Amino acid sequence: MTVTNTQPSTAADDGGKPSNMRSLSRAMEVFAELQRADRPQRLSDLARNCGMSLPTTLRILRVLQDFGMVSQTDKTYRIGPAVLPAARSYIENDPLVTASRPVLQQVAAQTGMTASLYTRLGFERILVVRVDGDAPLRYDMPLGKRLPLTVGAAGKILLAGAPDEHLQEVVKGAVAAGHEEPSFSLAELKARLPEPGTDYAYSADERATGVLSVAMAINRSGLPSESVALTSPVEAATEKGLKAGVPELRRAAARLAELLEGTVY
Amino acid sequence: MTVTNTQPSTAADDGGKPSNMRSLSRAMEVFAELQRADRPQRLSDLARNCGMSLPTTLRILRVLQDFGMVSQTDKTYRIGPAVLPAARSYIENDPLVTASRPVLQQVAAQTGMTASLYTRLGFERILVVRVDGDAPLRYDMPLGKRLPLTVGAAGKILLAGAPDEHLQEVVKGAVAAGHEEPSFSLAELKARLPEPGTDYAYSADERATGVLSVAMAINRSGLPSESVALTSPVEAATEKGLKAGVPELRRAAARLAELLEGTVY
DNA sequence: TAAGACACTTTCATTCTATGAAAGCAATTG
DNA sequence: CAATTGCTTTCATAGAATGAAAGTGTCTTA
């Protein structure tokens, strides 16, 4: 089993490290910045926000454009269509994703709840797979959306047992991403996390009102970066009912954990 | 209006050009290679297939991994989860995509057919938006899938009026991508394309059996790179019926063309 | 069990790429 | 029409990216 662990991932890590592949790293920064914005960006804005010179930014954009990762209209740049085939490739071919689908289907069938798989990405998490249960969730399907680690069962369970030092970074990341108020503190976060000894997390009306959730991490050595969750609208489930699904969820998580053995990122 | 036009996009363009940003270009090659393969790749395979040394390939993978664009399990690499937020950002924020949805909805409502938007990417095209009509299409929704330019109405219309020189490259590209037999020729391709003077393309049983389609390019100066299509299963439409939707389609294409004015890539 | 083969990883000197200052354009505005 | 603003190109230089070769670990085979 390998443990490499480079950075906690994602940009925003200008901790003074030399960091190899400067031009590539910077290109990824530009790409990330384009995603952050919800509308096309001017060259000068991108350059300023990424802290690099205009010529450099322009050159990066041109290369990304050549590969369809970036589109340009007049003088504004945005994410390009090449991300679609990439996302499709991920969803269709990633071993964990493909393996989880039947597992989630089984759990959803047995419990009647909606079953989901989340992956940690930097200081956020994203929904990767969802299999609907009997009662539909009313909020829109946030597949691929950046969600907080600090809110919602599926996020919090990824933080259970993490050292304070790491949690402190998570707090900073959540604030930086706008998921939490600037006053958000380590103590507040720790109060939300499941008690030590509990291997699942529960949430009610946390990330979305009217939604209950239990989640379990897919564990391997070290901090987990994936979790599975059961979710249901309040009118279709009680806390008790949801928690009755925990054993099922535990079994599913164990099955997927085997597959993950060895995953570095 | 600007016309920059760097490369015909996508890798495979080792035409001896110096090409700026070598490390970034190579990183994109690695990323593309990972998508091409439908299962996790070993470092040595990636290095060989991309024509670069092991250390270089490794360094690229590590940076991409830091940004979640690549995942690693043991010694194998694959596309990472960060492509999902990127794809979501594209679909939610791209001006053409968001603008096209209501337009396609209107066309679908008026004609009862399925309405789609395609974008050219290199020597292929991808489905970006689809709004279903009355009769469901039986093949699975290929959103983000790489489809041939040389097959199907929505592909062929993007090639109408292109100079032979360009079509010859398209032929090569289609063969290289496995969309056409190695014997595929320029003459064959030209025979498929709509007659000069026609602004739409028609296809029956071309890319998928039992499916009829008409498509129209979203035109601006030069070669188009987007097209809109009406599609229907054979049992729900006739050639005549589909072609009756062409005026609607033409109006939709014109509306979207305005928006595209100035798009470089 | 030992020896060999294989694949990944690190190191390091060299090359050439990536970089930003500054000049050159183009477009927009007062 | 002049001035401002923002994009693009040029160019000399710094330093990043590169691959050969050595190093390390793991798996295979005798």
Picking from B27, B67, B88, the nearest residue to A10 by CB comes out as B67
Find and give the residue nearest to D6, measured CA to C1': A44
Nucleotide nearest to B75 (CA to C1'): C8
Q: Are the beta carbons of B62 and A121 separated by less than 8 Å?
A: no
The domain spans of chain A are: 22-82, 94-260
Residue A9, pLDDT > 80, answer no
Q: How confident is the model over A67-85, as pLDDT tens digits?
A: 999 999 989 999 999 999 9
Q: Which fold does the domain B22-84 belong to in CATH?
A: Arc Repressor Mutant, subunit A (1.10.10)
Q: How confident is the model over A120-137, as pLDDT tens digits?
A: 999 999 999 999 999 989
CATH number, domain B94-260: 3.30.450.40
Residues 30-69 of B with CB under 8 A from A: 31-32, 34-35, 37-40, 59-60, 62-69
Whether the predicted model's global pTM rises above the 0.85 cut: yes
Q: Are the beta carbons of A263 and B79 separated by less than 8 Å?
A: no
CA-based nearest distance A155→chain B, Å: 16
Q: How confident is the model over B36-81, as pLDDT tens digits?
A: 999 999 999 999 999 999 999 999 999 999 999 999 998 999 999 9
Q: How confident is the model at residue A262 (pLDDT cuts 50, 70, 90)?
A: low
Q: How confident is the model over B186-236, as pLDDT tens digits?
A: 999 999 999 998 999 999 999 999 999 999 999 877 889 999 999 999 999
Q: What is the DSSP string of chain A?
A: ------SSSSS---SS---S-HHHHHHHHHHHHHHHSSS-EEHHHHHHHHT--HHHHHHHHHHHHHTTSEEEETTEEEE-TTHHHHHHHHHHH-HHHHHHHHHHHHHHHHH-SEEEEEEEETTEEEEEEEE--SSPPSS---BT-EEESSSSHHHHTTTTT--HHHHHHHHHHHHHTTSS-TT--HHHHHHHSPPTT--EEEEESSSSTTEEEEEEE---SSS--EEEEEEEEGGG--HHHHHTTHHHHHHHHHHHHHHHTTB--
Q: Which fold does the domain A22-82 belong to in CATH?
A: Arc Repressor Mutant, subunit A (1.10.10)
Q: Are the beta carbons of B121 and A81 separated by less than 8 Å?
A: yes
Mean pLDDT over all residues of chain B?
Answer: 90
Residue B260, pLDDT > 50, answer yes
